Structure 1
């Protein structure tokens, strides 16, 4: 396990031993919020899409999930972030996905100190702006 000497962070699990006073753990949901924001900062990302389970949960509970489309798994050996998203029509999907992976990994590591081992992306939709669709219908 990799440790940061200044704050005694166990980077794989996100647990902190703060000056010997106690332990702080960053939840997977917090990491998910950070990852979701970082993903949507990239040009070409039109939105994050909830997984089927989360979408159904939102319908039945009425609660909005701020981490829709993001799943975070943190265990003793690695941390993984899975993102389901839409890309805007006309953008190069591999370039957008690579930019999202890099931004999510860097942002989560910088804000939390957690070592991210994988950022997996699933593009499950292409979004087209209404103006583009209206322009094509007029032809």
Structure 2
């Protein structure tokens, strides 16, 4: 996650200025990624995985890393894909959906959206019967 930096959106007006925390971008990117068929799950870190097992609510920013530089915003997305989906097409759909969601909701231009495939979820047949 990014430090406590805030992104300025637009110019300051007589009413004030608008700033967006990087955590907001993580949540938007996480939701936009989860909407794509073929994404099995998002990869979190050890702490978030342990918290989830103990019943703490899952974070929508899980598996998303937002990096801010002075002139650009970079997003890294770590996912597990469902077996049988084309990885290049899936990655392209995720990049498009995340870019659209962030630009529509925040007017922030993203320099790069990098997709990292960290696993493949194999199908499990529930039709098999034990004899």
* TM-score (normalizing by structure 1): 0.74
CA deviation map 1:8-27 (0-9, x unaligned) = xxxxx443445322122111
RMSD between superposed Cα atoms in Å? 2.5
| 1:96 aligned residue | 90
Structure 2: unaligned runs, 5 residues or longer:
1-6
Q: Shift in Å at residue 103 of structure 1?
A: 1.1
Residues 1:110 and 2:107 aligned together = no
Q: 1:137 and 1:18, CA in 2 relative to 1: closer, same or farther beyond 3 A?
A: farther
* TM-score (normalizing by structure 2): 0.78
**Structure in which a larger fraction of residues adopt helix:** 1
Aligned residue pairs total 123
Q: 1:65 aligns with which of 59, 64, 84?
A: 59
Aligned to 1:71, what secondary structure does the other structure show? strand
C-alpha distance in structure 2 between counterparts of 1:44 and 1:66, whole Å: 17
Aligned to 1:104, what secondary structure does the other structure show? helix
Q: Shift in Å at residue 89 of structure 1?
A: 0.6
CA deviation map 1:90-117 (0-9, x unaligned) = 1111110111011111211111100100
Structure 1 runs (4+) deviating above 4 angstroms are 56-60, 134-138
